[in-house]
Chain A
């Protein structure tokens, strides 16, 4: 219970903070701590807010538990859950406007405060040092080593901070508690600013009527703060359709992320923004207020005049006539306008005398129409235009042909030139992902089709791919989701990056709008200003498109920074850094899966199996065929193919090895597994790619999206981290390292989990790899990757840092390992770490027991990475229902845990079954279902079950490997089930094993158990660590 809450909170924070890399990580840690403390003390999310003030020495353990728990819970929806929670918090707010707004602000404030506090501790100073703090932050971002130190310090200081924070929060809460007005919210930040003497910056916002609105905001204010100020200025209540945009360094318009600091998004010192429509309501007549419609009209007039919204001559004339009616009232022949009156107004890109005459002619027919009516008529006609609300992105299809991808309320449209050549409605899309500059959508099979298909597009660069992906996520969330119900929500979008749509959905905003109870606000129609300006060529207005694109850049940048920070940090303080790094890595990929996949595997009939195989082969083909993306995909594919067998081998090895060096071996094995997988990936991919996948649950049959816990193993030792941090390190090195590690360790515990994960999550794996690789890529490519990593890091950092602080070197090590390219280092570190980790994990596990009941097992834990992994998983898993696994290349611990909700029942069963054995103690049950189908990617179906029972000093891991090989298909279908039981010596291994096998047989009567590995580990942590 508590744990759950904690996890959620963390998630939320993460999500929110994602924008701020460094801050976020710190926050996250703090939050986690808080949460942990909160858990100890109480449950409540409510406490979260206050929770800041709390700190617990035990947080490490708690955190772990939290992470575990979170996955366990159905919620498991990690990010989604988080978002949901946020929404809930907001949503509950009775006030139409407000609560939501207030809440975010509060949070923002908190975060800011936290940041400040954190910073303060670093400086050992107090508020006075604020400027210094900021600088530090920046530096930290840039300079990793320092950051590391800072972070560590930060953690240490956190307690102090917490106290401070408590105060701050108290304020925030007070404001929040009041929730009476936005003002209060606004004030709180301002107050803080004043207290801290924060710098104020003047923001210039170009409004839709072409006027500028300037206001002062604290330098660290989040986008939301400014946005609300603008909305206040406009007297706009239905603000969810709107957003702020800015020009990024690439001269591309990006959405200002409300949840991130403005400063971190704009990059340049250009505090220039534009207020635009972000989501075009499909039916503007459903808007509650005329002022909202008016603003939408202003946007559309600009869209039409600029040619962004193409329409025919007649439509141009018609729309123009409504504009005239709305702005100037009835046509008055007695008061002839100046000759050039019409030509001064900009109605169309190719405006001519003929059109102007037509406009005037039509204008005459509107006599008596009020401005509001004219606006409504304008919108009624504009909404029917085929390109209304369609956000276009340049792309190439699999054959390299230039196309345009249009994102709209109904789905994704594919255009070639002006022709629509394909359309994918949201319900048809199972998953949205991007990898590097490739953008993928997985399509639900049609009535007559047997297999899911994945369609890939090539974007100009990674940045545009991510932008497109975000836009898709946002649009899908906004238009397709109803209510942000917390746990079960079948939200379609799971974002790999932390990114998720943080606002209200259209359904919510409509509900809120229906509650608006105020006299229609008076507003002045000043569109003419804009029109004339547009003639002048005011560029600002064009923002609309950019807005749609959303602020990917900002986030990315931020992420990048954070990543960078982590990297830097690691060198300085190996432990700390490493810890953070792993976390980061984990976050990258999130796959939301349909639990169905797992079930399918289990229950598959022959036909289904064949289907699977077919789909696999199809995937293969698609991968092979896909020109640009092929490399990565191929890699993944290969991985899958390869991985499973390899894994098996590894497992065997593990058995042999494990006993000798119980803990070390196990840890090593786990590490090895991860490493191996990573290596493969890296080798294949060569480049690290970050994939973000959005799985749309709507379609899913599964009731709940399976909770997928993403476990990232960042086994790498601190040293590794340092290495990794060297961004430039080539992938090859990394790859090599992992291999070496494998060989050397030989324990090669082949993490079955990995294999499983690989199959389903492969993309995730790739992601994890990306982490490792990310540094390189970052330098090479864009910061985006880094951002992503950063995001992950953000999540992870907390956990890791906690662990590290807690004196769980293992985690840190692990993290380092992942990053570290050096195998040797890794190996040693891993071993040490593992031992340590195990201990840690045990602790965590202890914490987790509660979670276990939930039945959600974290595959990660199961994987052997147990302890180390757990922390990460927690981070990752918390928010997102579906688990995304990140495998970090070198990292020993990489795991992906996938839990499908659909199978909740099964899970529970499993959990129960297994539980008995372990139950008493902290158990972590990880249930991974390879998403065979879902991913379509490759691996047929792999089902993994892993239980990790960890006691303080001992870890017992039981692994059951079920492999099924089917002939006749193009591909081999292997179903692996892994059960890892980690626990105290007390655990009856035989019993546990017997039960596991029994279960396995029950579940897969047609399959045979090929491997059973019992792993007994003794904590080695004491040995090496520190």
Chain B
């Protein structure tokens, strides 16, 4: 059925992109960390493998483009909800070109593609949190009000609320959905403050799962047939305390995914894929 807002977490396809060698040196980052491209590629391969093999998604694997060091973080290039895909206008000038390949891929999937052409608008997909009932858009260094407006226009069915993001790169740098109505949130003050804002702005009640590490709050939730609740989250090696929190989730298929290298260039788990549900679409 094509019921509105049905099947949160149900995905059939995933779009990912390979890591360019330029990632190590040229990818944007908020820290000075050195990135080992090989390690990063290893992690990414494992990540894609989980999506493809373990979860059975149809993975669209886009080739890397050396001219776009950050291109692996496909999440920022588009926002897909239902069968509508909004091609974003990334806040970082150097990343604007990433959307071309994304647009082609989305069109190939027969999605209703909407482009953000307003030159005053910027939007990174990493600032967009879709809860199943509504959108929260972080207003960050990468995303502005106009970008959020265009997103609201693209997804008219849903409320789109803005949340100021000051202390981190993206809204989803410290939060994500851990299930229907469950927001995983970091424990830092900015994260908690943002959560408060989201709760206030919403007509819906959300449960929250607080993890000690902000970055660990970025996880990937899916609700797949035959697999139930699936959660891709941080490893014990990377965030031991947060890992313990995830371990306590019941009735979940918990899949720790290593993300030690990509995090150095601010890449979180959700950043590396765009998840699409083609079955439910009308």
Chains A and B form a bound pair? yes
Interface residues of A (CB under 8 A from B): 310-315, 317-318, 358, 362, 380-381, 384-387, 408, 410, 416-423, 425, 428, 446
Interface residues of B (CB under 8 A from A): 2-5, 82-84, 112, 133-134, 137, 145, 148-149, 152-153, 155-162, 196, 200-203, 281-282
Q: Could you tell me if A423 and B200 are in contact, using CB atoms closer than 8 angstroms? A: yes
From A318, A410, A428, contact of B203 by CB (8 A): A410
Residues of B within 8 A of A385 (CB): 4, 157
Question: Whole-angstrom distance from the CB of B129 to the nearest CB of chain A?
Answer: 14
If A312-B82, A410-B203 touch, whether A419 touches B157 (CB-CB below 8 Å) is no
Task: Find the A residue at minimum CB distance from B134.
Answer: A386
Q: Could you tell me if A362 and B157 are in contact, using CB atoms closer than 8 angstroms? A: no
Given contacts A418-B153, A419-B161, 18 further A-B contacts (CB under 8 A): A311-B157, A312-B156, A314-B112, A314-B157, A315-B157, A318-B4, A318-B282, A362-B282, A380-B3, A385-B4, A386-B159, A387-B159, A418-B152, A419-B145, A419-B160, A419-B162, A421-B161, A423-B203
Question: Whole-angstrom distance from the CB of A367 to the nearest CB of chain B?
Answer: 13
If A420-B160, A420-B161 touch, whether A381 touches B202 (CB-CB below 8 Å) is no
Q: Could you tell me if B162 and A420 are in contact, using CB atoms closer than 8 angstroms? A: yes
Residues of A within 8 A of B196 (CB): 446
Task: Find the B residue at minimum CB distance from A282.
Answer: B203
Task: Find the A residue at minimum CB distance from B193.
Answer: A448
Residues of A within 8 A of B149 (CB): 417-419
From A362, A419, A422, A425, contact of B152 by CB (8 A): A419
A selection of 26 A-B contacts at a CB cut-off of 8 Å is: A310-B156, A311-B157, A313-B84, A314-B2, A314-B83, A315-B4, A317-B282, A318-B282, A362-B282, A380-B3, A381-B3, A381-B4, A384-B5, A384-B157, A385-B157, A386-B157, A386-B158, A416-B145, A419-B149, A419-B160, A419-B162, A420-B162, A420-B201, A422-B200, A423-B201, A425-B200
From A314, A387, A408, A417, contact of B84 by CB (8 A): A314
Residues of B within 8 A of A420 (CB): 159-162, 201
Task: Find the A residue at minimum CB distance from B204.
Answer: A410
Question: Whole-angstrom distance from the CB of A279 to the nearest CB of chain B?
Answer: 16
Q: In the docked arrangement, what's the CA distance between A422 and B196, Å?
A: 12
Question: Whole-angstrom distance from the CB of A419 to the nearest CB of chain B?
Answer: 5
From B112, B160, B200, contact of A418 by CB (8 A): B160
Residues of B within 8 A of A386 (CB): 134, 157-160
Q: In the docked arrangement, what's the CA distance between A116 and B244, Å?
A: 79
Question: Whole-angstrom distance from the CB of A440 to the nearest CB of chain B?
Answer: 19
Q: Give the 5 A-B CB pairs with smallest separation, nearest first.
A: A386-B159, A418-B152, A420-B161, A310-B156, A381-B4
Residues of A within 8 A of B84 (CB): 312-314
Q: Could you tell me if B160 and A312 are in contact, using CB atoms closer than 8 angstroms? A: no
Residues of B within 8 A of A428 (CB): 200
Q: In the docked arrangement, what's the CA distance between A387 and B203, Å?
A: 11
Task: Find the B residue at minimum CB distance from A377.
Answer: B3
Q: In the docked arrangement, what's the CA distance between A422 and B153, Å?
A: 18
Q: In the docked arrangement, what's the CA distance between A109 and B167, Å?
A: 65
From A311, A381, A384, A408, contact of B156 by CB (8 A): A311
Residues of B within 8 A of A380 (CB): 3
Question: Whole-angstrom distance from the CB of A364 to the nearest CB of chain B?
Answer: 12
Q: In the docked arrangement, what's the CA distance between A243 and B279, Å?
A: 42
Task: Find the A residue at minimum CB distance from B112.
Answer: A313
From B82, B153, B203, contact of A314 by CB (8 A): B82
Q: In the docked arrangement, what's the CA distance between A618 and B153, Å?
A: 37
Task: Find the B residue at minimum CB distance from A390.
Answer: B159
Task: Find the B residue at minimum CB distance from A313.
Answer: B112
Question: Whole-angstrom distance from the CB of A883 to the nearest CB of chain B?
Answer: 32
Task: Find the A residue at minimum CB distance from B84.
Answer: A312
Residues of B within 8 A of A417 (CB): 145, 149, 152
Q: In the docked arrangement, what's the CA distance between A358 and B83, Å?
A: 13
Residues of A within 8 A of B112 (CB): 313-314
Residues of A within 8 A of B3 (CB): 380-381
Q: In the docked arrangement, what's the CA distance between A387 and B84, Å?
A: 19
Q: In the docked arrangement, what's the CA distance between A315 and B84, Å?
A: 11
Q: In the docked arrangement, what's the CA distance between A311 and B203, Å?
A: 18
Q: In the docked arrangement, what's the CA distance between A380 and B4, Å?
A: 9
Q: Could you tell me if B282 and A358 are in contact, using CB atoms closer than 8 angstroms? A: yes
Q: In the docked arrangement, what's the CA distance between A386 and B131, Å?
A: 13
Question: Whole-angstrom distance from the CB of B89 to the nearest CB of chain A?
Answer: 16
Task: Find the B residue at minimum CB distance from A310.
Answer: B156
Task: Find the A residue at minimum CB distance from B82.
Answer: A314
Q: Could you tell me if A314 and B282 are in contact, using CB atoms closer than 8 angstroms? A: yes
Question: Whole-angstrom distance from the CB of B199 to the nearest CB of chain A?
Answer: 10
Residues of A within 8 A of B160 (CB): 386, 418-420
Residues of A within 8 A of B157 (CB): 311-312, 314-315, 384-386
Question: Whole-angstrom distance from the CB of B25 to the nearest CB of chain A?
Answer: 37
Q: Could you tell me if A384 and B4 are in contact, using CB atoms closer than 8 angstroms? A: yes
Q: Could you tell me if A421 and B162 are in contact, using CB atoms closer than 8 angstroms? A: yes
Q: In the docked arrangement, what's the CA distance between A418 and B5, Å?
A: 19
Question: Whole-angstrom distance from the CB of A300 to the nearest CB of chain B?
Answer: 13
Task: Find the B residue at minimum CB distance from A446.
Answer: B196
Question: Whole-angstrom distance from the CB of B50 to the nearest CB of chain A?
Answer: 30
Q: In the docked arrangement, what's the CA distance between A410 and B161, Å?
A: 16
- Of B134, B149, B152, chain A has the most CB atoms within 10 Å of the CB of B152
Residues of A within 8 A of B203 (CB): 408, 410, 423
Question: Whole-angstrom distance from the CB of A797 to the nearest CB of chain B?
Answer: 43
Task: Find the B residue at minimum CB distance from A317.
Answer: B282
Q: In the docked arrangement, what's the CA distance between A566 and B196, Å?
A: 51
Residues of A within 8 A of B158 (CB): 386
Question: Whole-angstrom distance from the CB of B72 to the nearest CB of chain A?
Answer: 30
Question: Whole-angstrom distance from the CB of B243 to the nearest CB of chain A?
Answer: 29
- Of B83, B137, B149, B203, chain A has the most CB atoms within 10 Å of the CB of B203
Residues of B within 8 A of A419 (CB): 137, 145, 148-149, 152, 160-162
Residues of A within 8 A of B148 (CB): 419
Task: Find the A residue at minimum CB distance from B203.
Answer: A410
Residues of A within 8 A of B2 (CB): 314, 318, 362
Residues of B within 8 A of A318 (CB): 2, 4, 282
Residues of B within 8 A of A418 (CB): 149, 152-153, 160
Residues of A within 8 A of B82 (CB): 312, 314
Question: Whole-angstrom distance from the CB of B193 to the nearest CB of chain A?
Answer: 10
Question: Whole-angstrom distance from the CB of B8 to the nearest CB of chain A?
Answer: 12
Question: Whole-angstrom distance from the CB of A357 to the nearest CB of chain B?
Answer: 12
Q: In the docked arrangement, what's the CA distance between A238 and B137, Å?
A: 39
Task: Find the B residue at minimum CB distance from A319.
Answer: B4
Residues of A within 8 A of B4 (CB): 315, 318, 381, 384-385
Question: Whole-angstrom distance from the CB of B52 to the nearest CB of chain A?
Answer: 28
Task: Find the B residue at minimum CB distance from A358.
Answer: B282
Q: In the docked arrangement, what's the CA distance between A358 and B161, Å?
A: 30
- Of B157, B162, B281, chain A has the most CB atoms within 10 Å of the CB of B157
Q: In the docked arrangement, what's the CA distance between A315 and B112, Å?
A: 13
Task: Find the B residue at minimum CB distance from A314.
Answer: B282
Question: Whole-angstrom distance from the CB of A355 to the nearest CB of chain B?
Answer: 12
Question: Whole-angstrom distance from the CB of B242 to the nearest CB of chain A?
Answer: 24
Q: In the docked arrangement, what's the CA distance between A314 and B4, Å?
A: 9
Task: Find the A residue at minimum CB distance from B160.
Answer: A419
Task: Find the B residue at minimum CB distance from A421.
Answer: B162
Q: In the docked arrangement, what's the CA distance between A386 and B161, Å?
A: 11
Residues of B within 8 A of A387 (CB): 159
Q: In the docked arrangement, what's the CA distance between A312 and B282, Å?
A: 13
Task: Find the A residue at minimum CB distance from B281.
Answer: A314
Residues of B within 8 A of A421 (CB): 161-162
Q: In the docked arrangement, what's the CA distance between A446 and B157, Å?
A: 30
Q: In the docked arrangement, what's the CA distance between A422 and B161, Å?
A: 8
Task: Find the B residue at minimum CB distance from A382.
Answer: B4
Question: Whole-angstrom distance from the CB of B143 to the nearest CB of chain A?
Answer: 12
Residues of A within 8 A of B201 (CB): 420, 422-423
Q: In the docked arrangement, what's the CA distance between A423 and B199, Å?
A: 10
Question: Whole-angstrom distance from the CB of A318 to the nearest CB of chain B?
Answer: 5
Q: In the docked arrangement, what's the CA distance between A428 and B202, Å?
A: 13
Question: Whole-angstrom distance from the CB of B137 to the nearest CB of chain A?
Answer: 8
Q: In the docked arrangement, what's the CA distance between A827 and B280, Å?
A: 79
Residues of A within 8 A of B281 (CB): 314
